[in-house]
Structure 1
Amino acid sequence: MSVIDASGLTKIYHRGAEEVHALRGVSLSVQAGEFVSIVGPSGSGKTALLNLLGCLDTPSGGTLSINGTDVTNLPESCRVIIRRAEIGFVFQQFFLIPTLSAKENILLPLTFSKKPVNESRAQEILDMVGLSHRADHLPHELSGGEMQRVAIGRALVDDPKIVLADEPTGNLDSHTAEQMYGIFEELVHKGYTVVIVTHNTELAHRAHRVIRLRDGLLEPDTPCSCPENP
């Protein structure tokens, strides 16, 4: 079952009188429970594509469906609902609130979605990202890897079906980056669909499939040789 279906996506940005074609007709499908990496040089359109898939932006052309819902031309108010219900985001910059503890940062999305705080859910997420022992620590008391674990936990607290990550290991050393990919692999084992934009081609090949972008165009998919490949 496809949870993401994109057909002929284009994205044009205007910079003064100049038109920047970030995407030039990208079509792809992502299946439920799939782990996909998107790679490509700077300026290839990776982040533009992820922003469209995450309903953070609207395409200039083409169509996009998330879990069977056509989101192509939805107004922002409706896209907010889709984002909260279906999608969790992890960014290169952690974007943690410095005055909140790890646990409070993880629970923050529940405030915006007006859901009650569920302590058992909070503990489940802390356990999942390996932070039970750091739950009450502020961001400045955490390492880079621990802060990224908090960011992953925050993306999961609303129980989305899809997790999108934009360069989630970009600010981490190689050992910590390996650990982060281990967490994403565990999420896939638990049934989440994970799509990661990365410059790290070695880590990218731990996914089920690698999607390559160049100049806003999709190159042929690369199936990976990892044991969990479907």
Structure 2
Amino acid sequence: MILNPLVQQVLDLIGIFAFALSGALLAVRKRFDVVGIVVLAEVTALGGGLFRDLVIGAVPPEAFTTTSYFTTPLVASVVVFFWHPRLTRIRRFVLFFDAIGLGVFCVAGSLKALNHGMHPLAAVALGAATAIGGGAARDLLAGDVPALLHPESEIYAVPALVGSGLVAVLAVTGTLTPITSALAALLAVVVRLLALHYGWRAPLARGGGSL
């Protein structure tokens, strides 16, 4: 056992709530109704975890067996529906909560993969997939190009890989604890926020637009 199951669940719930807020806020920015807000919150919060659980064979996924996993996005939807920033400020909140969800989920995803006996490299990939899956599904449903693929978007997968990669290194070296896990999540969040602030982008293939 890599980490206490309670710690794993707490990490999951923090990530779920943060991602649900980002999904619900994006729905408000897109002028979706209350159903659209709930749907986008649920998909954003649970999409990456569903993919992770199916890949590692943790079925049925916790989203369908743990009530708090499904109800937490509902709470976030209610919070956003009745209290949200002015429209001009919503995008900043979406990106901020998305960064928090990204950091927490890349760590939680890697930890769960390691707990199920996955190789550290596979755990890194699944951690990143857990972190970016819900956000990609959210953007597609909202009619946007996912940040993961948008050429003008700041780096998105790289912070998730940094966080999940650090978890794998900590696990291999025997230094993985709740504190070091939290630091790995914080590192991923900071890298994503710095990328947003300074406009860091992945390089494009030279001359690709002329093909």
Structure with the higher fraction of residues in helix conformation: 2
Decide which structure has greater strand share: 1
Larger Rg: 1
Higher RCO (Cα < 8 Å, 6 or more apart):
1
